[in-house]
């Protein structure tokens, strides 16, 4: 069956506005559309394709598992889930793992666990959740309400209650909200969707100290920043703090849907049998791919390579800016990079993204005025160089327009 973009408008719910291009094949950091037109991929499926497209280790793991066992449900556990959980426990602060299918689901589990922990440990009154403006935590009704953009949660009826928002990187604004009634604080240790905002160490450490003082749990949403994206396995590892709960998804499966919530034994014990669950969470196919992705990313070679590639991206953006004067700031960490457009191009991030696509480069936006790049963690240098050639052509056209 031949399909085209117009079919989207006929048969799909109109909550997305996808590009006119329909990619049909990918390999490494290159993608080809239905007509064989090639793109360099600086988008990485929004920080998901951490090893590019069709990495042999992931393809091999999926094929091998596909011949063994696909699904059981959580009535029985399975080998890949146990192995992946053991690896996550070995590599992080965590002692316990809960598997979900997406970032939002991992966050939903984290928030429910925090509420249950507070109720059991302290009392019914300890329900307040503090999150941060511009933060993003997913699209379930609880997580989207915890997210810091009310426009995303407005218009769906009564919202989950007792959720407030502080200013990111502003400790005073956080301190003004926290109290002994606070059950948890949820934050991204590098805001992604909100515009690629790196936290200061003082802010993060101040949040951690206040959580301790008020006996509130600190939940790090590492759905975008985790699995090597910042050059650390998880971003918290570079910040001098340890969260109580951490959520991870996106790159965890390198493109196969999986999410996880990590925590300690003392906190996890409140999610007793029957309190939470998921039919597919911990699915053998997803976990088998997750093991391969985790083993491949969690090596000094890949993690150090992220930092080297960050330099190449910064140099590429800086060189374009020196010639065309379009960015006010190049920011982010590792391969979660944002270039904020200067005053002249406010609100035009999407136009830059579309111009880049016209030149054969896939990239992203973060809000209306920041272009975002979250490529494969192992994108070859030659693809970075070619991508920047294409980006320069796109920027030249935008500047002339």
Ligand X SMILES: Cc1ncc(COP(=O)(O)O)c(C=O)c1O
Assigned token pair, 182: 């606070």
* Residues ≥6 apart with Cβ < 8 Å to 91: 233, 294, 298
Whether 53 contacts 31, CB under 8 Å: yes
243 is a contact residue toward ligand X (CB under 6 A): no
- For residue 374, state whether it binds ligand X (rule: CB under 6 A): no
Instruction: Please answer whether residues 337 and 310 qualify as being in contact, where contact means their C-beta atoms are separated by less than 8 angstroms.
Output: yes
Quote the least distance from Cβ 214 to ligand X, whole Å. Answer: 24
Q: How far is the CB of 257 from ligand X (least distance, A)?
A: 8
Residue 263 to residue 245: CA distance in whole angstroms: 5
Binding pattern for the stretch 146-185 against ligand X, x by CB under 6 A and - elsewhere: ----------------------------------------
Select from 44, 45, 192, 199 the one that contacts ligand X (CB under 6 A). Answer: 192
Euclidean distance between CA atoms 78 and 63, whole angstroms? 17
From 134-142, 156-164, 232-240, 316-324, span contacting ligand X (CB under 6 A): 134-142
Query: Locate tokens 């963690």: which residue?
Result: 377
Beta carbons of 372 and 364 less than 8 angstroms apart? yes
Number of H helices, E strands in the chain: 14, 15
Candidates 121-129, 178-186, 187-195, 209-217; binding stretch for ligand X (CB under 6 A):
187-195
Output 224 or 278, the one with its CB closest to ligand X: 224
Q: Does 223 bind ligand X (CB under 6 A)?
A: yes
* Residue 253 is a binding residue for ligand X (CB under 6 A): no
Q: Does 392 bind ligand X (CB under 6 A)?
A: no
Near ligand X by CB under 6 A: residue from 104, 208, 292, 373: 104
Based on C-alpha coordinates, what's the Rg of the chain?
21
Q: Which stretch binds ligand X (CB under 6 A): 100-108, 165-173, 234-242, 388-396?
A: 100-108
Contact string 17-46 vs ligand X (x = CB under 6 A): -----------------------------x
Cα 160 to its chain centre, rounded Å, is 23
* Shortest distance (Å) from residue 118 CB to ligand X: 22
Question: For 275, how many CA atoms within 13 A lie in the half-sphere containing its CB?
Answer: 18
Q: What is the DSSP letter of 247?
A: E
Which residues contact ligand X by CB under 6 A?
Answer: 46, 102-104, 107, 136-138, 188, 192-193, 221, 223-224, 249
């Amino acid at each position: 069956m031949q399909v085209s973009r117009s079919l989207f408008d006929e048969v799909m719910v109109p909550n997305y506005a996808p590009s006119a291009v329909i990619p049909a094949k990918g390999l490494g950091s290159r993608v080809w559309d239905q007509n064989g037109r090639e793109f360099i991929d600086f988008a990485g499926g929004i920080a998901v394709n951490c090893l590019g497209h069709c990495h042999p280790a992931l393809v091999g793991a999926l094929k091998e598992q596909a011949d063994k066992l696909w699904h059981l449900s959580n009535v029985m556990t399975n080998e890949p889930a146990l192995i992946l959980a053991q690896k996550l426990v070995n590599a992080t602060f965590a002692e316990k793992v809960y598997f979900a299918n997406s970032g939002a689901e991992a966050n939903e589990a984290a928030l429910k666990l925090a509420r249950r922990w507070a109720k059991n440990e302290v009392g019914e009154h300890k329900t307040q959740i503090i999150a941060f403006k511009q933060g993003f935590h997913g699209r379930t009704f609880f997580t989207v309400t915890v997210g810091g953009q009310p426009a995303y949660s407005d218009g769906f009826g009564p919202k989950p209650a007792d959720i407030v928002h502080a200013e990111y990187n502003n400790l005073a604004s956080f301190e003004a909200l926290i109290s002994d009634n606070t059950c948890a604080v949820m934050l991204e240790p590098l805001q992604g969707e909100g515009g690629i905002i790196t936290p200061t160490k003082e802010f993060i450490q101040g949040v951690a100290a206040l959580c301790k003082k008020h006996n509130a749990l600190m939940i790090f949403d590492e759905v975008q920043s985790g699995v090597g994206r910042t050059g650390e396995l998880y971003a918290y590892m570079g910040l001098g703090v340890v969260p109580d709960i951490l959520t991870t998804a996106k790159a965890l499966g390198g493109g196969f849907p999986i999410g996880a919530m990590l925590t300690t034994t003392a906190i996890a014990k409140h999610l007793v049998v029957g309190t939470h669950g998921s039919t597919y969470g911990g699915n053998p196919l997803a976990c088998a791919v997750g093991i391969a992705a985790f083993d491949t990313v969690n090596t000094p070679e890949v993690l150090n390579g992220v930092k080297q590639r960050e330099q190449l991206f910064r140099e590429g953006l800086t060189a374009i800016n020196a010639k065309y004067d379009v960015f006010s700031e190049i920011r982010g960490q590792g391969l979660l990079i944002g270039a904020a457009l200067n005053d002249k191009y406010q609100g035009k991030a999407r136009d830059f993204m579309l111009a880049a696509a016209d030149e054969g480069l896939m990239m992203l936006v973060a809000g209306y005025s920041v272009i975002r790049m979250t490529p494969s963690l192992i994108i070859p240098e030659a693809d970075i160089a070619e991508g920047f050639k294409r980006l320069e052509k796109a920027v030249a056209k935008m500047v002339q327009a």
